[in-house]
Amino acid sequence: MMHDQETVLLQGHIIDSLILAKVLDTILMMGGTFDLQDVQIGKTREEPSRARIIVRASSAKLLSEILHAIQPHGASVESERDCRLSAAPEDGIFPDEFYATTHLSTQVRVRDRWVEVEQIEMDLGICVDLVNLTARTIPMGQVKRGDMIVIGREGVRVIPLQRPRERDVFSFMESQVSAERPHGHIIGDIARRLVQLRTGFREGKAGSKVLLAGGPAIVHAGGREALAWLIDEEFIHVLFCGNALPAHDMEVDLYGTSLGYGHVAGRVVPHGHEHHLRTINRIRAIGSIEAAVRSGIVKTGIMAACVRRGVHVVMAGTIRDDGPLPGVITDSLEAQATMRRAIPGIGLALLVASTLHAVATGNLLPATVPSVCVDVNPAVPTKLADRGSFQAVGLVMDAASFLRELARELGARL
């Protein structure tokens, strides 16, 4: 990530003298990049011109070297002001004019220093710790009276996404969603990322975890075996779901049906609609999904693989849930907070066949995390792509076909 940046001003007769060209060339030759923010060209020969240039570099050291090199040509660092802060008036209430975050990396200026906002996520506030000079995002519901919250836009800068180094499907600057695009090469690229990330994960490299947020359609449509295989092969490290995905997954194991349909034969089984309720009841009696797997009652499927592989599972409930299963978080704010805690370290997110969980997860992810949204309904990937991240890939296809094709690409024999 290219993060260090400073805004410089250049003024005078900088066009005809080629001073502007020289400064920009110098920035590039030294390995930096620039954005010309504002160029005002003098209307007459006498009138001076003026350029505001954002200089970016991969490290603070390189940035300082570049600034050092361009300053003799008149580029002066723009004096910046600290961000404005105001104390939260009550628990759970931001001060008026609070700054609302985007999902892009953000820095705030505190005591003349640019400070990185930790755990960036969209639609939150920014809380500044004036003792340790740190800044972090904070949801409205978690703010405490007296917390120092950033207000206004002064002293806040948002760092646009840099084009990723990898030349794959995630590096396209557009995030079109179309059912007509061939899927093969996209799935191939995702598979290559998964292999790289698994290697990183095994070596304990930060940012190597893969998150899958999924709905029960994965089970109904026949993607259960493929997903279980991906989990067993250590390609998935975090699972976000609701009550239904684990319920129907274990229903298949215990009754051979999902939502009452014979899983293999594909026919309605008499009294099959009760199976998921009986499954939930059984697990509630045992006490936990983990105990059900460890005791050998649930042997196959997604949840069994998660328990075997120690996948971090967050189950967030909804108002239409049956049961729910033990471990399902029914307080939605608590569920959101638990999901949020699982986000750091994620290097790729697969959002499969669940509008609710895909959108909730998408809102929690920083723009820097590449994400893939798979749904038969084009509205879901479109909604995710509209977040403005060019690292979001939308696939309009059936969940089971996607997971099977992905698993096959990775060597599964399904």
Angle (CA) 377-182-229 rounded to 5° is: 75
Q: Is 17 in the site for another protein (CB under 8 A)?
A: yes
Kindly provide the residue ranges of all beta strands, DSSP E only, lying in 72-141, ordered along the sequence: 76-77, 84-87, 106-110, 113-118, 125-129, 134-138
Least gap, CB of 22 to another protein (angstroms):
5
What is the maximum span of the chain, computed from C-alpha positions, in angstroms?
Answer: 90
Which x/- pattern over 368-407 shows residues binding another protein (rule: CB under 8 A)? ----------------------------------------
Closest CA relative to residue 325, chosen from 291, 356, 358: 291
Q: Is 199 in the site for another protein (CB under 8 A)?
A: no
CB closer to another protein out of 67 and 126: 67
> Do the Cβ atoms of 108 and 39 come closer than 8 Å?
no
Cα(405)–Cα(25) distance, rounded to whole angstroms? 47
Least gap, CB of 53 to another protein (angstroms):
15
Count of residues engaged in binding another protein, rule: CB under 8 A: 17
Residue range at the interface with another protein (CB under 8 A); choices 9-17, 210-218, 307-315, 326-334: 9-17
Least gap, CB of 14 to another protein (angstroms):
8
State the virtual CA torsion across 16, 18, 21, 26 in degrees, nearest 10. -160
CB closer to another protein out of 20 and 293: 20
Least gap, CB of 11 to another protein (angstroms):
5
Residue 2: phi, psi to the nearest 5?
Answer: -90, 115
Scan residues 48-87 and list those touching another protein (CB under 8 A): 48, 72-74, 76
Residue range at the interface with another protein (CB under 8 A); choices 11-19, 131-139, 324-332, 381-389: 11-19
Q: Is 205 in the site for another protein (CB under 8 A)?
A: no
Helix-helix angle 355-364:332-342, to 10 degrees:
60
Q: Is 179 in the site for another protein (CB under 8 A)?
A: no
The structure tokens 């603070």 sit at 60
Residue range at the interface with another protein (CB under 8 A); choices 7-15, 61-69, 79-87, 95-103: 7-15
Give exposure, 44-64, as e/b (b: 16+ Cβ within 10 Å): eeeeebbbbbbbbbeeeebbe
Scan residues 209-228 and list those touching another protein (CB under 8 A): none
State the virtual CA torsion across 20, 34, 107, 196 in degrees, nearest 10. -170
Q: Is 40 in the site for another protein (CB under 8 A)?
A: no
Closest CA relative to residue 76, chosen from 136, 20, 10, 168: 10
> Do the Cβ atoms of 122 and 102 come closer than 8 Å?
yes
HSE-up (13 A, CA, CB side) for residue 244:
18
CB closer to another protein out of 7 and 288: 7
Q: Which of 19, 186, 307, 367 binds another protein (CB under 8 A)?
A: 19
How many C-beta neighbours within 10 Å does residue 146 have?
11
Q: Is 21 in the site for another protein (CB under 8 A)?
A: yes
Least gap, CB of 201 to another protein (angstroms):
50
Q: Which of 1, 16, 36, 78 binds another protein (CB under 8 A)?
A: 16
Amino acid at 157: R
CB closer to another protein out of 38 and 97: 38
CB closer to another protein out of 10 and 63: 10
Q: Which of 3, 22, 205, 284 binds another protein (CB under 8 A)?
A: 22
Q: Which residues contribute to the site for another protein (CB under 8 A)? A: 11-14, 16-19, 21-22, 45-46, 48, 72-74, 76
